[in-house]
Chains A and B, each alone.
Chain A
């Protein structure tokens, strides 16, 4: 799957900015910076990974800047970033 640089989200409180770039190495690499990293870092990475792999993305560098977003927001931003990065409209059906 071809990936170009794309982003979705904002740096507002309660939101997350997800930036997707072509993979430097094989696999999905997530670099997370979160205001709630202590307590929710693992869970946030898991939600991003599940969302992107669920859409078929296996190779990409992902930078996530989180300001305390809920899981539903993280899924929505990850999906939007995926659509912009791949040009594949997952909402088309």
Chain B
């Protein structure tokens, strides 16, 4: 005989050998609730306090956030306020970046709630206080690509990620936009949050639009989400396109953008199928507008545009001039809506976007990047983090990642900003090494890195005004005079990591 009863002994034997239980049918109970009701209930939907408690967060652990809402972000302040109220101390805050709006963190640092910060950048009063020595431990600065990779590799271990999303279903399928009629916010790509969602020990989604299951098309999967918290607002979308990613009307920025577009068109890389990225900053974002006409005139189409995607990029894509958009961060509402509606506009996680050690990083396949700078020095080193007054006022972003990986990196930068020189003898802080910087465009001429004589020749042949970068620095100094040395102290307030994980520079405190 060979009925299941006859095989019971063999089943028990097999189970024992495999170190497993024997199946017991009386443990099984069918759920009979109608599924349209069931999908609205989920044990994952809890209050913020409940979520924090149930993740098991403890003093000294690492919490993470994304900054896709930029100046409109409400999640970081909301969560850290709650953590302070619950009595947490010594937390390590690892955000993809921090902006002016995160000024309330100053009090939480003073009160010992936050004692360590990892970020791509700092701005506003928080940056000013930290530059003056607010924190005991230096802030650790990473590029977007290296943050993504550090999270994947475990170098930056995240205990609990608190990630804002414009929609989520009760199971945690979440996106940076919402297709429901109750949509309250939109930030587009959640690229910087994707490594956090995937590799954090616990992931909490905060959303201002709880939608029916299944939420499509989601960037974050329910499999990675432990709790879903419904809040009034995760962010003010109208404040995304402000600050460093405003649309410029400044005539000097426009002049720089036109020159940079001309550099790209004559660089040798302007051919069918080329790929393109523009970094934050008025002039660099505006380059796309001026490349457009060149592309139409010469019948050239780009294969993809990468990075912070703007409405200008979307326009070129819709006109058929750029085939695909790869979006780690949507720089404005038009870009965010395009991501929602267009299947050739895809989002990408930070480490697949720009990590040095990730073989498939999109930056490895990037031809041209146009970037801005606070300072460039005579060795083509670039600083985008610390102001010429020694105070932190920017973000590394993807600057070193894209400059290193692209075939051609172009920096647009005025010679002076007011009385602040932008072409200097030595940058205040080293962010992107000069070996990765090919061309510097200023309103007083274009400097080409001596490593790239072929580029210099092509631009000269095109009749462009090529100058020696030392002459630009001299010109700046002649106009403004020689600055007095900055009042740096002896305390290290920031550590800048290279994208290979090594320590590249430190930032000292300012004493006055």
Binding site for B on A (CB under 8 A): 13-14, 35-36, 38-43, 67-71
Q: Name the one of B416, B417, B479, B483 contacting A39, with C-beta atoms under 8 angstroms.
A: B483
B486 in contact with A68 (CB, 8 Å)? no
A-facing mask of B456-492, CB < 8 A → 1, else 0?
A: 0000000000000000000000011101101100000
Q: Do A13 and B418 form a contact, CB below 8 Å, given A36-B389, A39-B388, A70-B479?
A: yes
Q: Name the one of B481, B487, B512 contacting A40, with C-beta atoms under 8 angstroms.
A: B481
Query: Nearest-CB distance from A16 to chain B (Å)?
Result: 10
Q: For residue A46, which residue of chain B has the nearest CB?
A: B481
B512 in contact with A68 (CB, 8 Å)? no
Query: Nearest-CB distance from A19 to chain B (Å)?
Result: 20
Q: Give chain B's interface secondary structure class.
A: loop
B484 in contact with A69 (CB, 8 Å)? no
- The CA-CA distance from A38 to B417 in the complex, in Å, is 16
Q: Name the one of B418, B484, B487 contacting A68, with C-beta atoms under 8 angstroms.
A: B418
Query: Nearest-CB distance from B96 to chain A (Å)?
Result: 29
Q: Do A68 and B481 form a contact, CB below 8 Å, given A38-B389, A38-B390?
A: no
Q: Do A43 and B486 form a contact, CB below 8 Å, given A38-B389, A68-B417?
A: no
What count of chain B residues pass the 8 Å CB interface test?
Answer: 16
B418 in contact with A35 (CB, 8 Å)? yes
Residues of B within 8 A of A38 (CB): 389-390, 484, 486-487, 512
Q: For residue B487, which residue of chain A has the nearest CB?
A: A38
- The CA-CA distance from A43 to B389 in the complex, in Å, is 16
- The CA-CA distance from A14 to B420 in the complex, in Å, is 10
Residues of A within 8 A of B416 (CB): 70
- The CA-CA distance from A68 to B486 in the complex, in Å, is 16
Given A38-B484, A40-B484, A71-B481, 14 other A-B contacts at CB below 8 A? A14-B418, A36-B418, A36-B419, A38-B390, A39-B388, A39-B484, A39-B486, A42-B484, A67-B418, A68-B418, A69-B419, A70-B419, A70-B479, A71-B480
Residues of B within 8 A of A39 (CB): 388-389, 483-484, 486
- The CA-CA distance from A47 to B479 in the complex, in Å, is 14
The count of A-to-B residue pairs whose CB atoms sit within 8 angstroms is 41
Residues of B within 8 A of A67 (CB): 418
Can you give 25 contacting A-B residue pairs, CB < 8 Å? A13-B418, A14-B418, A14-B419, A36-B418, A36-B419, A38-B389, A38-B486, A38-B487, A38-B512, A39-B388, A39-B389, A39-B483, A40-B481, A40-B483, A41-B484, A42-B484, A43-B481, A43-B484, A67-B418, A68-B418, A70-B416, A70-B419, A70-B480, A71-B480, A71-B481
Binding site for A on B (CB under 8 A): 388-390, 416-420, 479-481, 483-484, 486-487, 512
Residues of A within 8 A of B486 (CB): 38-39
Give me the 5 closest cross-chain CB pairs, A-B, nearest first.
A68-B418, A39-B483, A68-B419, A14-B418, A36-B419
- The CA-CA distance from A14 to B483 in the complex, in Å, is 16
- The CA-CA distance from A13 to B479 in the complex, in Å, is 16
Query: Nearest-CB distance from A41 to chain B (Å)?
Result: 8
Q: For residue B390, which residue of chain A has the nearest CB?
A: A38
Query: Nearest-CB distance from B205 to chain A (Å)?
Result: 41
Q: For residue A36, which residue of chain B has the nearest CB?
A: B419
- The CA-CA distance from A14 to B389 in the complex, in Å, is 16
Residues of B within 8 A of A35 (CB): 418
Residues of B within 8 A of A41 (CB): 484
- The CA-CA distance from A70 to B478 in the complex, in Å, is 11
Residues of B within 8 A of A14 (CB): 418-419
- The CA-CA distance from A14 to B417 in the complex, in Å, is 8
Q: For residue B391, which residue of chain A has the nearest CB?
A: A38
A36 in contact with B481 (CB, 8 Å)? no
Residues of B within 8 A of A40 (CB): 419, 480-481, 483-484
- The CA-CA distance from A36 to B484 in the complex, in Å, is 10
- The CA-CA distance from A37 to B427 in the complex, in Å, is 19
A69 in contact with B418 (CB, 8 Å)? yes
- The CA-CA distance from A70 to B480 in the complex, in Å, is 6
Q: For residue A34, which residue of chain B has the nearest CB?
A: B419
Residues of B within 8 A of A68 (CB): 417-420
Query: Nearest-CB distance from B414 to chain A (Å)?
Result: 11
- The CA-CA distance from A42 to B483 in the complex, in Å, is 10
Q: For residue A69, which residue of chain B has the nearest CB?
A: B419
Query: Nearest-CB distance from A70 to chain B (Å)?
Result: 6
